[in-house]
């Protein structure tokens, strides 16, 4: 998540298409790494009896909100600029990476599973 935040932030600041292509490659890699990591943690921590229901909700929330994001952020993009919105998105991703503290969350879930 931290890599994603940094990549989005840097991408928002770029003005050179040549450099942006390289950053987009990194951004795509860290995006898929972030999504894969979130899915792995979710599936590792869910009980078997609720995994199917939770995963159905996860996919609906994750993929189903994409059009809503366009509706919300499209007018904001028109009113400001891509630099502003991508910088904010990168900052939010970095804040979430710090707030989530994934290694501590995994350690807590493992301690609870053993207890």
CB 7 within 8 A of CB 30: yes
**pLDDT tens sequence across 32-65:** 998 888 888 888 888 888 888 888 888 888 777 7
How far is CA 88 from each of CA 31, 69, 73, 83, rounded to the nearest angstrom?
17, 14, 12, 9
Of 65 and 5, the one with more pLDDT: 5
The verdict on pTM exceeding 0.85 is no
Mean pLDDT of the chain: 85
């Amino acid at each position: 998540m931290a890599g994603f935040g940094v990549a989005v932030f840097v991408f928002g600041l770029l003005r050179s298409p040549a450099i942006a292509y390289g950053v987009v490659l990194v951004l795509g890699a860290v995006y898929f790494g972030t999504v894969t990591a979130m899915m792995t943690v979710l599936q590792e921590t869910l009980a078997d009896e609720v995994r199917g229901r939770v995963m159905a909700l996860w996919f609906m929330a994750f993929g189903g909100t994409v059009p809503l994001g366009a509706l919300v952020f499209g007018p904001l993009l028109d009113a400001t600029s891509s630099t502003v919105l991508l910088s904010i998105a990168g900052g939010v991703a970095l804040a979430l990476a710090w707030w989530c503290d994934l290694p501590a969350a995994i350690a807590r879930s493992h301690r609870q599973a053993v207890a």
